[in-house]
Structure 1
Amino acid sequence: MENEEGTAPDVAPRKASWYRRPLFVGPLAGALLLGGGLLVWLPGGRDGGRAAAPAPGARANAAVRTGVAAALPDLAVLIEERESRVRRAPKDARSWAVLGAAYVEQGRRTADAAGQFPKAERALRTSLSVGPRDDAEALGSLAALANARRDFRAAKSWGEAAREAAPKRWTTYPQLIDAYTGLGDHKRARRALEALMELRSGPAVLARAAGVYWDQGRREDAQAALSDAAAAASSPAEEAAWRERAGQLAFERGEREEALRSFREAVRLDPDQRAARAGQGRALAALGRTSEALDAYGIALAGQPLPQYALELGELYESLGLTGQARAQYDLLRERVRREAAGGVDGALVLGRFEADHGDPGAAVRRLRAEWRRQPGIAVADALGWALYRAGRHKEALRYAAVATDRAHGGTVRSAAYAFHRGMIEGALGKTAPARRRMQEALRINPYFSPLYAPVARAALAKLGEVPDVEPPA
């Protein structure tokens, strides 16, 4: 619950048992306190004391205004309600703001950027034009929209404007964390998390802390925080979102079975959780259950056709020698990037990664270099370094790979893919010992990080050989 006294709550990872502790209310279980302070007595029995479930639109409204996942059917109800309301009352700034936030969430969940994100921007700008121009809710939702579009500079501007308008509005700070992280400003991201933790406790804050912990290399802390967030979630859709993130982290640690359990639980809680379906595909492929993996990816792409999922599925097909099916997914990736661009989404990162490995590495370098100048995050540094390596520019490639993997540059994320990329670059430069260490690190972090490139890493490590047995210097 919101910390009204302004003291800093404890959101460090902890056991989640207290979240589910039953509350004994004794013989007053049949009393209901209504708004305005009216105490109404309900008859005893099974339903006495059980609060009525909120309506779908109310559930979605609470979710989108606090930045947590909402069930897609609930979102559809909320959007219909708010569209009807703004038609009747076009000067209702609050309804315009809620409608804009709902469009953002629906566009994100369905990957319908072209259809939903322009509507979201119009609704949010309308809210600011008919209401206060410094309304923190509308400004914060514009920051969320910019983050969804991978426009981190715009997200930073909108988020900082929202913070200036209402410094104690906690929902602004998660958007600032995402924006600062996308711009490679990890110090500001940590400060934004500290401010968030002073204002609020609960599952949304724990989940946000988990992301920052992961970026800092604190994998166990990140996993514990997400476990607590899932245990304290207020709805199945919210819990499913945190379970899906927990699955991501488990997979990044090479824990295939644990990742699959988390993804399956997320889908059980929310069948529309398509990110968890893609996660199932990832984990099943790592377990060698290829047919099931292909089915899971197909379901994910049917409901949320993100370019990243098409890239992963294409590489899975390629690893199986099914080049025709792989090309079909790569064609889908290009088409999805074009469609998302119509909604204002920056697809340079995923397109650059694709071009580096499956298209034109030179074009990937140009695209990613422009992206680096615009928003120099860790993921862009890694992708640009790899594209330069694929283009044969190994010495320059190492500079960017170092940004992605050296603590001095903020690259504290423990990523098997990042370590593999740097190891390949160092091997091409004749740096045998560092290359060996990086390959060992990549396979230690996650031996299954890619169906296409994990075998390449193992072969490269075998070629590098064992550490030579030499006498120490005198």
Structure 2
Amino acid sequence: MAVLANARRDYAGARAWGEAARKLEPERWTTYPPLIEASAGLGDDEESGAAAGEARELRSGPEVMARAAAVYRDRGWREDAAAKLTDAASAAGEPAERAAYLERAGQLAWERGDREDALRRFREAVRTDPDQRAAQAGQGRVLAALGRTTEALSAYRTALAKHPRPEYALELGELYESLGMRQAADARYALLRERVRLAAAHGADEELVLGRFEADHGDAEAAVRRLRAEWKRQPSTEVADALGWALHRAGEHEEALPFAVRATEGTEGGGVRSALFAYHRGMIEDSLERYGAARRHLTEALRINPWFSPLHAPRAKEALARLGEPSVQAGPESS
């Protein structure tokens, strides 16, 4: 039940089921991976770390390694996360399991802007398990960043045909939009809405991806309403970033900034190094005329991954060019 609740993004429910399972059999190691995922989804990094430690004491298999990698990634410990995922992939028994860990390793490489390593791992995942659609979509992401647009579109379409997840539709739509193919983009955005509707009808929570879509491509005020409710249910780093960005897009820059800080500051729980999160914070700070801080965070976004989005990476570069170099005569800038 905890695993199913996590799959529906019902992290509060997943934690309740996981705690009930742990109370019944605290020595069963399989109790802990769902608890780790649920706690991370609720933004409780301390609990997810504690559960990961308990799991390691009971078992040292590949699933526990992969869960530990997720905890390390959320804390910004990329090298440790990458090492754990490599070990998990090597120790995996079934091809589908190994492919899943390779996909996660590819995503980690992508997040740090290493396109070649990410593509290698995504391709290996698909070779290992042709049904690994997350890796197929990952190939689309990297191929687009490499300028191999035709191959990128094909990879995304393959992933969507077999596993039409809303986030894949959003990524493909934004790639089409970046290419000036508005009609094709709108078709994928319509697919996103339909998949979110179907997910909701089956008890799954896709409000986060819908809120992200609405903030950039639809109704920003509707995005704020959706994401405020999501924040109350599960105040994770991802939701903090999305809500902050939606507030910014709705013109509420002052209210947006604390959420952007929550998503990007390790002391606030936002340990993961994300180019998108740093970009969002920089643009919010720019709107508040905090130009020094805006310049730092936009530079950080492009340093982490210069190709993080076909739409937003060029906008980050444009914003930095507009901000220019800090003026010595103007004195210290606000931070």
**Considering the TM-score relative to the shorter chain, is it more than 0.5?**
yes
Secondary structure of 1:171's partner?
Answer: helix
Q: Using the alignment, how far apart are the partners of 2:178 and 2:330 within structure 1?
A: 42
Aligned with residue 98 of structure 2, among 223, 239, 246: 239
Give the Å deviation of 1:464: 1.0
Alignment correspondent of 2:318: 459
Aligned to 1:341: 200
Task: Report whether the alignment pairs 1:221 with 2:80.
Answer: yes
Name the structure 2 match of 1:230. Answer: 89
Equivalent position of 2:186 in the other structure: 327
Query: Secondary structure at the residue paired with 2:29?
Result: coil
Give how far 1:262 is off: 0.3
| In structure 1, C-alpha distance between the alignment counterparts of 2:226 and 2:94, rounded to whole Å | 41
* CA distance, structure 1, for counterparts of residue 134 and residue 227 of structure 2: 25
Q: Secondary structure at the match of 2:51?
A: helix
Partner Cα separation in structure 2 for residue 182 and residue 272 of structure 1: 26
Which residue pairs with 2:62 in the alignment?
203
The residue type equivalent to 1:379 in the other structure is E
Q: Deviations over 1:29-87 (max 9, x none)?
A: xxxxxxxxxxxxxxxxxxxxxxxxxxxxxxxxxxxxxxxxxxxxxxxxxxxxxxxxxxx
Find the counterpart in structure 2 of residue 12 from structure 1.
none
Under a length normalisation based on structure 2, what TM-score does the superposition of the two structures give?
Answer: 0.97
1:297 aligned to 156, 163, 166, which one?
156
Q: Tell me by how many angstroms 1:240 deviates.
A: 0.7
Deviation at 1:471, TM superposition (A): 10
- 1:17 corresponding residue in structure 2: none
Q: Residue 185 of structure 1: CA displacement?
A: 0.9
More helix by share: 2
Aligned residue number for residue 361 of structure 1: 220
After TM superposition, the score normalised by the length of structure 1 is 0.69
Question: Following the alignment from structure 2 to structure 1, what is the Cα–Cα distance between the partners of residues 105 and 145?
Answer: 17
5 Å-filtered alignment, 1:243-262, equals: 243-262=102-121
Please tell me the residue identity of whatever aligns with 1:425.
I
Take 1:226 and 1:173, find their aligned partners in 2: how far apart are those partners?
A: 18
Give the match for residue 441 of structure 1: 300
Q: Which runs of 4+ in 1 moved over 4 A?
A: 470-473
Counterpart code for 2:234: Q
Task: Please list the CA deviations of residues 182-201 of structure 1 after superposition, one character each: whole Å capped at 9, or x if unmatched.
Answer: 11111111100110111000
Q: Distance in 1 between matches of 2:254 and 2:330?
A: 31
What is the CA-CA distance between 1:472 and the residue it aligns to?
Answer: 8.9
Does residue 421 in structure 1 map to residue 280 in structure 2?
yes
Gaps of 5+ in 2: none
Inter-partner Cα distance in structure 2 for 1:292 and 1:425: 34
CA distance in 1, matches of 2:323, 2:329: 16
**Which residue of the other structure, out of 109, 130, 151, is the alignment partner of 1:271?**
130
- Give me the CA root mean square deviation: 1.2
* Cα shift readout 1:291-322 (whole Å, capped 9, x = no counterpart): 00000001000111100000000000000000
Partner letter of residue 266 of structure 2? R
2:169 is equivalent to residue 314 of structure 1: no
Select which of 282, 285, 288 maps to 2:144: 285
Measure, in 1, the Cα distance between the counterparts of 2:245 and 2:11.
22
Deviation larger for 174-183 or 423-432: 174-183
2:31 maps to 1:172: yes
Amino acid of the residue matched to residue 28 of structure 2?
R
Q: Distance in 2 between matches of 1:247 and 1:471?
A: 44
Distance 1:471 1:390 in 2: 29
- Aligned residue in 2 for 1:183: 42
AA matched with 2:321: A
Residue in 1 aligned with 2:238? 379
Return the alpha-carbon distance in structure 1 between the equivalents of residues 154 and 197 of structure 2: 25
**Aligned amino acid, residue 422 of structure 1:** R
Number of residue pairs matched by the alignment: 332
1:343 and 1:164 map into 2 onto residues whose CA distance is 29
Partners in 1 of 2:331 and 2:110 — Cα distance? 40
User: 1: CA distance between counterparts of 2:330 and 2:239?
Assistant: 42
Q: Deviations over 1:249-306 (max 9, x none)?
A: 0000001111000000000000111111000000000000000000000100011110
Which amino acid letter does the alignment assign opposite residue 291 of structure 1? T
2:6 matched residue in structure 1: 147
Tell me the residue number matched to 1:33.
none
CA separation in 2, counterparts of 1:193 and 1:273?
Answer: 25
Which segments of 5 or more consecutive residues in structure 1 lack a partner in the other structure? 1-141
Residue identity matched to 1:152: Y
- How far did residue 470 of structure 1 move? 5.3
The secondary structure found in structure 1 opposite 2:316 is helix
- How far does residue 391 in structure 1 lie from its aligned partner after superposition? 0.3
**Which structure would you say has the larger Rg?**
1
2:15 corresponds to which residue? Answer: 156
Distance 1:450 1:472, change over 3 A: closer
Task: Tell me the residue number matched to 1:75.
Answer: none
